[in-house]
Structure 1
Amino acid sequence: MAASAPTSTGESAHLWPPGTVRLEDMTSSAGKDIILEPRPSEDPNDPFNWSTTRKYINFGLVCLYVAMVAEFINASTPTWGPMNKELGYSFEILNDSYAVGCACLALGSVILIPFALKFGRRPLYIFSTALQFGLSIWSAKMETVADLMLINILQCLFGSLAEVIVQMTIADIFFVHQRGRANAIYVWVWLLSSYLGSLIAGFVAKGQGWRWIWWWNAIFFGIALLIVVFGYEETKYAPPIFGMVSETEKSPPSSALKHEEAEFGRKKPDLQTRTGSSQDIDPPKSIEAVENGALPNIDTVIINHSIPLKTYRQKLSIFTTTTPSAGIENNAFLSHMYQPLIILTTIPAVAYAALVYGILVGLGDVMSTTMSTYLVQPPYNFASDQVGLMSLPRVIGVTIGAAIIGPLSDWAVIYFSRRNKGIYDPESRLWCIVPFLLFVPAGALLFSIGLNNHLPWPVIAVGLALYNIGVTPINSVIITYLTDSYRDIIGDALVGVTVVRNSFSTAFIFALTPWEARVGLKWVFVTILLIACAILSLFGVFIRWGKAFRGQFAGRYQYYALRQYKER
């Protein structure tokens, strides 16, 4: 029977909402044993069963891809001055080219992520890297405004993958209690590469000319392409037809499962073929039973050695195709181009994550463009390498924030689950935002007032550092919260987040020149900052009622989860 239409009434009060899992066995001999969530299959080829070394090698290659894309997108700003002189591009045109890129970052994932869901992550990583290798050569030979705009359009369309597909990869290979650290590393790599790209590009532009920035990009993208082609393994898991479901997972469902079938319009086979998460495979457990000490069955992960390991050639297969769930075969691919927008507007946590991520990244992009425009003019008169050096305080801020939030976030998961009798609610991770909230307004105000009032450049540098100390942890936590809450639809959810994130940047940057002319630079920043503070303050709402929201909209989540490709 096909899934019924989603409702906002959600689930029964006796069912755990999506994202709530038992993370610790409080009755074990040690008293506190971590339970792996999602639960791995018995297949040795399952990415959850990979060794830690293999996981981090794979994740390291993903981070290499992220670093190259982030550098490419942001290395252009130190070239604005030289390009203005050599090619005659006005700063308004250069500003608009950046805004066009932001718009394409919003659009790209909507078009491309359905391919990652259908055919796997590997072909998208390879194709995007190859395309950006070609675009680097084109950038080095740029002559016209049409070149400038087309390069930005294509580069950002495919570069948008770095903002979504990486989160899908993290969800593919890391367990709940490991994702905070992994997402902190991702955010750190993205921001660090963005800022170091600008810094290094400034020196290259001064020492070798701005075109050599892109020749160096072509060299490094060529090397990265070879590494990805021969080193990156597919993390999308397509179970074999045998050994796919463990004996425990084949056990008859309880009466609670019958209730769940009636609630969401599902049959038992649909439930078994969806995901490795214990909350999806096991019969639903009442909150009252858990609170009274009745534990679900917790099985040791046993590898089925009758399932053959993939050969090196099989591991590097270009495509890993899966079929859609029963009843949606005819429109599954196209549905992933509009489902993200429906999920974005109907599931509160997705909408909130999009607003937080969008406003903070948008404000950061406004900082980048205003800095590139103002610092090359009196009274600063910075050369391109000096503009690049202003990325150094951002690098320091990002590194401090990431170094703190990675361990803190995963520690908080364990700490709060122990306080909650071993049960983990994703909202507990949001408490990690609190120590970093004040850094955002403090840094943005110091930067904007310093630039507006022509204060010494160290004031601007300190503002940049403080802002990034705050932004890095907040972005890391909010994306991890979303992944923990809605893993089964994380691809679609993050597409929606990316659309909003880049819509903020596009709107702000397109409006920046006339907006600033009308009210002044300081008040532009004050307005954006007030919007940011209003959005950030809502985190308390989700700490208090986030679990209730997940329960209320569980029906909608299950409906769209069943419309995903059968990856697990």
Structure 2
Amino acid sequence: MPDINTEEYLDIPGTIRIFDEAGHVVQTDHVNLHPMPSEDPEDPLNWSKTRKWIFLSCVIWYQFVVNLQAAVLYAIYTPLIEEKGLSLDQLNAGTGYLYLFIGIAAIFTQPLALGYGKRPIYIISTFACALLNIWTVYIPNNSQWIGSRLLLGFFLSPAYTLIQVSIVDVFFVHERSLPMSIYALAIYAGGCMGPVLSGQVYDAIGWKPIIWLSTGLTVITGFILLFFLEESSYIRRSKVKAAVHVVDEVERSTESGIHNHLAQIEEGENQDEGQKNIKMDTVEAGVYDVTLNNDNRSGQKFPLNTPWHGIRFWKFAKPHPQARAIIVKTVFQCLMAFRLPAVIWSGIVLGSFQAFYNFVSALASGILAEEPYNMSSSAVGLTFLSSLIAAIPVAFFGGPLADWYGLRCAKRNHGISEAEHKLHLWIICVILTPIGLLMMGLGPYYQAHWIVFVLGCGIINFVGTFGTLLAINYIFDCFHEIHPNDPDSPSSAAQDAAPYLLTSILICMIFSFALGYAITPWCFEWGLKNFGISSAIIFTFIEASAVIMLIWGKKMRRSGENYYRKVVNW
């Protein structure tokens, strides 16, 4: 093993020192705010907690409602087939087109949001989804069904890629865990509650009122965003890197210690210009959060806490001065990231987890509404609660579990954390994947109690949620710390779009689109027994591919770093 104290060993994206040889933390986000806010009261990082949570409530509600609207049809496929003359195969293919265009559209909607403002993208997306939902009532044939799904996927794309970036705009690193957990839960809550509610409404008053009710809810959401959602894009002329500063007990207990601590920052040889210009009176005025921590005890926080004062809703957009360059560079970076093995792998496994959700939505009506179960649409809808319940513990405990395990591995690795450490938990996905898929296929084939199928749906949704968390964390760990040389360039703003994530989402949605054509013949024509066995083998093999990253992941990170730096500096 090479010398773990050498700069060469640590100078690899995703490889960082967390503990010293004695097991003490040497890296923490509890000392300085990260990212460092500006002195502008309207900087989103300086917003008060109330103002930040109003913003978060808006984007999370948007996420929930548009996902709910997209999923309301899953429990009423049978009446749609009877009313519109569409086959189950055609309905599932339309769903595949929807997910394909979510991935393709993200390459364009994400840079548009960075260039011209996130608020207009959210509002346009919401009202467009409402209009496209109305189209469902009047669709006469398969061609228009496919067309409506394509357009819906395009305008639905911000719900899959833009919200993570919006949360980063507003919350500091140490504040993001809970917002991200709520976001993860909202994705599955909307997708699962849609069929639950639509099944109840259909049994009571028919399928068309489902469309009108979900459209009305989406329109109301659009007006909520118009009047309450603020623009979170903000131009920081100089991006300050977070640094680690250890302060002793004497400094922590006295006011002079704060001034001494900041003086050390100003004198540091490796601090960038923005860090050196921090003024004492700025701290005294309460602009920055100075938390002095050497034993897990936090000091006082002094943010600006700019309160929410309402928004000028008529100011629709907030264009960036370099908007066109940002759009071009974001698209370029996303496409060039296809050369990175970690991005390709994460896109494939994310696609497999999207396939799990597609299996649930495609099979539920086709199995539970037929012999021997003969469930009503409302009962079929209620079975989606299994998937929702399975996602809740992952949303709130999956992240802390992964973080705890990553720290444990770092302690055993002489204080060094590797991006692949958390992937050891992937064994959970490998074990549970075949169990869930076999229950979904063999349960109905042998006419077992319906709970077998429903529990199988819950298990694979648990796998999908947890695996998605690990895969996205992995690519962020690999590439998120790589920034362009010029922090004020369009390339820097483009990197804020997390182009490696956009590439993975595109691969994921292409995978889901291709599967859309195979689901119906695979499940119903080839037979549920064959489906259960073959899907268990195929997807277990895909999940087991994590071994490749565990063995050669660091080598790939090392070899791909120079290439990715060239991409982000283009």
TM-score per shorter chain, which class? 0.7 to 0.9
Matches within 5 A, 1:282-297: none
| Structure 2: distance between partners of 1:115 and 1:190 | 22
Task: Write the deviation string for residues 15-67 of structure 1: whole angstroms up to 9, x where unpaired.
Answer: 62234556689999998854467432343544444455544432332221111
In structure 2, the residue matched to 1:542 is 549
Taking structure 2 as the reference length, the TM-score comes to 0.77
Aligned residues: 508
- One of 11, 16, 21 as aligned partner of 1:16: 11
In structure 2, the residue matched to 1:464 is 457
Q: 1:22 to 1:56 in 2, by over 3 A?
A: farther
SS at match of 2:372: coil
Q: 1:197 to 1:435 in 2, by over 3 A?
A: same
Asked if residue 135 in structure 1 is aligned to residue 132 in structure 2, the reply is: yes
RMSD across aligned C-alpha pairs, in angstroms?
4.0
In structure 2, the residue matched to 1:220 is 217
Q: Which amino acid aligns with 2:102?
A: L
SS at match of 2:320: coil
Q: 1:247 to 1:399 in 2, by over 3 A?
A: same
| Structure 2: distance between partners of 1:319 and 1:506 | 33
| Structure 1: distance between partners of 2:432 and 2:177 | 20
Of 194-203 and 182-191, deviating more is 182-191
Q: 1:310 to 1:184 in 2, by over 3 A?
A: closer
8 Å CA contact 1:184, 1:476 repeated in 2: no
Q: 1:153 to 1:176 in 2, by over 3 A?
A: same
In structure 1, the residue matched to 2:333 is 339
Asked if residue 116 in structure 1 is aligned to residue 113 in structure 2, the reply is: yes
8 Å CA contact 2:111, 2:331 repeated in 1: yes
Q: 1:208 to 1:34 in 2, by over 3 A?
A: same
Q: 1:52 to 1:20 in 2, by over 3 A?
A: farther
Task: Write the deviation string for residues 162-187 of structure 1: whole angstroms up to 9, x where unpaired.
Answer: 11112222333445565555444322
| Structure 1: distance between partners of 2:54 and 2:233 | 16
In structure 1, the residue matched to 2:535 is 528
After TM superposition, give the deviation of residue 357 of structure 1 in Å: 0.7
SS at match of 2:8: coil
In structure 2, the residue matched to 1:371 is 364
Asked if residue 157 in structure 1 is aligned to residue 154 in structure 2, the reply is: yes
In structure 1, the residue matched to 2:37 is 41
8 Å CA contact 1:203, 1:385 repeated in 2: yes
Matches within 5 A, 1:40-439: 40-43=36-39, 44-176=41-173, 179=176, 181-239=178-236, 312-313=310-311, 317-323=315-321, 332-343=326-337, 345-412=338-405, 424-439=417-432
Structure 2: gaps spanning 5 or more residues: 1-6, 243-261, 276-293, 484-494
8 Å CA contact 2:88, 2:520 repeated in 1: no
| Structure 2: distance between partners of 1:560 and 1:185 | 33
SS at match of 1:553: helix
After TM superposition, give the deviation of residue 499 of structure 1 in Å: 1.6
8 Å CA contact 2:48, 2:307 repeated in 1: no
In structure 2, the residue matched to 1:505 is 512
- Structure with more contact order per residue of length (Cα contacts < 8 Å, sep ≥ 6): 1
- One of 473, 495, 502 as aligned partner of 1:480: 473
8 Å CA contact 1:234, 1:316 repeated in 2: no
8 Å CA contact 1:362, 1:502 repeated in 2: no
In structure 1, the residue matched to 2:441 is 448
SS at match of 2:420: helix
SS at match of 1:18: coil
SS at match of 1:438: helix
8 Å CA contact 1:79, 1:210 repeated in 2: yes
| Structure 1: distance between partners of 2:328 and 2:159 | 21
8 Å CA contact 1:41, 1:244 repeated in 2: no
Task: Write the deviation string for residues 448-471 of structure 1: whole angstroms up to 9, x where unpaired.
Answer: 111233322111111112222222
After TM superposition, give the deviation of residue 70 of structure 1 in Å: 1.4
| Structure 2: distance between partners of 1:29 and 1:373 | 56
| Structure 2: distance between partners of 1:357 and 1:28 | 35
Q: 1:117 to 1:49 in 2, by over 3 A?
A: same
Q: 1:537 to 1:73 in 2, by over 3 A?
A: same
SS at match of 2:157: helix
| Structure 2: distance between partners of 1:316 and 1:199 | 37
8 Å CA contact 2:437, 2:535 repeated in 1: no
Q: 1:498 to 1:454 in 2, by over 3 A?
A: same
8 Å CA contact 1:142, 1:148 repeated in 2: yes
After TM superposition, give the deviation of residue 131 of structure 1 in Å: 0.9
After TM superposition, give the deviation of residue 127 of structure 1 in Å: 0.9
| Structure 2: distance between partners of 1:81 and 1:202 | 11
Q: 1:170 to 1:414 in 2, by over 3 A?
A: farther
Asked if residue 496 in structure 1 is aligned to residue 500 in structure 2, the reply is: no
Task: Write the deviation string for residues 459-504 of structure 1: whole angstroms up to 9, x where unpaired.
Answer: 1111112222222111122213323432354532222122221222
8 Å CA contact 1:66, 1:190 repeated in 2: yes
SS at match of 1:164: helix
Q: Which amino acid aligns with 2:530?
A: W
Structure 1: gaps spanning 5 or more residues: 1-11, 258-267, 274-294, 564-568
Task: Write the deviation string for residues 396-452 of structure 1: whole angstroms up to 9, x where unpaired.
Answer: 211233233133234445555666677654433334444454222211111111123
| Structure 2: distance between partners of 1:174 and 1:242 | 16
